[in-house]
Structure 1
């Protein structure tokens, strides 16, 4: 599933309402994991969905908007369920009407998320906290498999894919400390990962989810609008490599492929990224290409500077490496313009490097 949006929120809240109404006559003072009762957990679901919607409509960029929502005192299970349905509908509508490229504050990992990210987080809140309540009240809460699979791709790209004999739902429960999987240690601390968006002049470098990378590798658009209709071949190849790392369970978020998107019109003009995380010496290799109609505008140079600067904010990175073929003079110029210097050849390639000051 390439995109998380209003349809997925609607599907998730329909699942939540059905599960919770099946247990509405039970004791909602029971603990739903941690210190929260079932009713308090339902209050949290409704509150966070409203907060996500308002972050987007308010275009909050520096922090959380200074307000809170809560169920009225004395609200029972049916009222709480109704509130969840209402706030999920609010988030669904906001997600559908938020322009592409708009981002609002969320603390992890990079201080912001777009509408698709808030949709993914909303679906995750619905699925997981519905499970918490249902588990406490002894009713089944397994959601449709595509929803759990989409959550894993969008927010948990660091989690190894579902093992043989498992399901996306059991993997999501394991990834969030709610279940066990064979041959995997129990998870005690976890965080989700919204894709990065790195500013670069007229461009934004948008990290691709594993689902988007797979689609690009198979000839799709990755959910993007491309100048000229399609990405260059190098972006498809790099996307395939990123997805293969995800399947192998060795993908590290941030160290894969980014689409270069013009912020003025939300059109993708190229791809750039890493061949993997830093090696044992702290070196990370970069690669890049642009669609032919976008060349000659300085896009790749500006983007490479921004991506390199981001990489060097990580203490484990000591240097960056770019390899080009001898005849690719344009790529060589991009590297040197971005501050890279010529290194000894790595036959059959020319090598360029940038070291931490």
Structure 2
């Protein structure tokens, strides 16, 4: 899994234009685009319209809705002109992605109301790859994009989808455009940008599989860390996230988050869930901070916000923490974040039935 950027947008658009240019002399309005209800002309306009909309929403920092404008072709524009428009709008999105600072977000409907620069890049690439496939299929043209682009789209936008041995067939299957042995056909699908949760002086930024892989391998995950690198617990949690993704059991909203300080964009630590809610609607949270960020209330703000986010859901009724007996600082964080020490009986049950290690204290916060 590799980073995703404006160069990838440019590469995706170039593959689209190269694949479709041999058919510019045909009547695209008369040819259905693969399995879509649109014809090839309408589909190409849709691609260009999405590219420029993504560029505008990212560059303009749209907050609550798409900017109210759309793409209109000039009278008499032919297919060659339309491909030029796709190229130009792709260049606009690539430029917006390259120039956007880390962490900046713009409006996008699904699923959490916003996307960052990597999200907009991935969405633009997905639109280009998938709809080029649709148009090429309708026009009887061969098309297969660079495998790295399909892999990036899966890792950045489909964290809930188990990666397959070949990225492009997996992406086609995940979007209802193909079959994969051993997997049921997909009839409804959505991509997923990462979740961000405001938490006072920090923002909890959801970690995607591509970022988790980099963190687990010793990288910075694209974050500017206060002490130069995350603490060991964050790297370990990132490794577990990658394993869950590869096994097809990752639930992105119950994954790992990086604490990003609002005032300067520095990453201070990691926080996240040990997994999705169990059969009794319980989730467990773990967290750590780099040493320079400790003792300043950041962990309390992050823990309180994440617990409240979880408890606002219908599938969570109890949030738990396990803390070492001698870790007084973390025990105080739990107290300030609204957690209470479990009873002796609750701790005994956690040890005997839930596998909690000895030497740990159990803290609870209920809905």
TM norm. shorter chain > 0.5: yes
Measured in 1, the distance between the counterparts of 2:151 and 2:243 equals 17
Equivalent pair of 2:24/2:80 in contact (CA under 8 Å):
yes
Question: What SS does the aligned partner of 1:44 have?
Answer: helix
Deviations 1:152-197 (A, max 9, x none): 00000000110xxx41000000000000001111100000000111
What SS does the corresponding residue of 2:182 show, helix, strand or coil?
A: coil
Counterpart in the other structure of 2:42: 40
Which residue of 2 is the match for residue 84 of structure 1?
86
Q: 2:106 — aligned with what?
A: 104
Alpha-carbon separation, structure 1, partners of 2:298 and 2:142? 51
Aligned to 1:156: 158
Q: Distance in 1 between matches of 2:209 and 2:298?
A: 24
1:19-74 Cα distance to aligned partner (Å, 9 max, x none): 11132233412111322100000000001111111112222101111111122344
The answer to whether the 8 Å contact 1:257/1:273 transfers is: yes
Q: Residue 355 of structure 2 aligns with which residue?
A: none
Instruction: Show CA shifts across 1:73-100 (max 9, x none).
Output: 4422111110000000011111111122
Contact 2:319 2:366 in 1 (8 A): yes
Given that 1:27 and 1:137 are in contact with CA atoms closer than 8 Å, whether structure 2 keeps it comes out as: no
The residue aligned with 1:226 is: 225
Paired residues in the alignment total 353
SS of match in other structure, 2:322: strand
Aligned to 2:143: 141
Of residues 170-179 and 333-342 in structure 1, the stretch that sits farther from structure 2 once superposed is 333-342
What is the aligned partner in structure 1 of residue 128 from structure 2? Answer: 126
TM-score (norm 1): 0.96
Q: Within 5 Å, give how 1:333-348 maps onto structure 2.
A: 333-343=332-342, 344=344, 345=347, 346=351, 347-348=358-359
Change in 2 beyond 3 A, CA 1:262/1:2? farther
Unaligned runs of 5+ in 1: none
Give, in whole Å, the separation in 2 of the partners of 1:219 and 1:101. 21
Task: Report what 2:13 is aligned to.
Answer: 13
The two structures have a TM-score, normalised by structure 2, of 0.94
The equivalent residue for 1:256 is 255
For residues 339 and 284 of structure 2, what CA distance do their matches in structure 1 show? Answer: 12
The Cα shift of 1:140 comes to 1.6
Partner of 1:210: 209
Instruction: Tell me the secondary structure at the aligned position of residue 23 of structure 2.
Output: coil
Q: Residues of 2 paired with 1:208 and 1:310: CA distance? A: 16
Cross-structure match for 1:60: 62
Separation in 1, partners of 2:182, 2:220: 36
Name the SS for the 1:55 alignment partner.
helix
Provide, for residues 312-339 of structure 1, a one-character-per-residue CA deviation record: whole Å limited to 9, x for no partner: 2220111101111111111111111100
Structure 2 runs not aligned, ≥5 long: 352-357
Q: Distance in 1 between matches of 2:195 and 2:2?
A: 16
Corresponding residue for residue 355 of structure 1: 366
Please give the alpha-carbon distance, in whole angstroms, between the structure 2 residues aligned to 1:71 and 1:327. Answer: 68
C-alpha RMSD of the superposition? 1.2
Q: How many angstroms does 1:3 deviate by? A: 2.8
Regions of 4+ moved over 6 Å:
none
Are 2:198 and 2:305, in contact at CA under 8 Å, matched by a contact in 1? Answer: yes
Which is further off, 124-133 or 338-347? 338-347
- Is the Cα–Cα contact under 8 Å of residues 341 and 352 in structure 1 kept in the other structure? yes
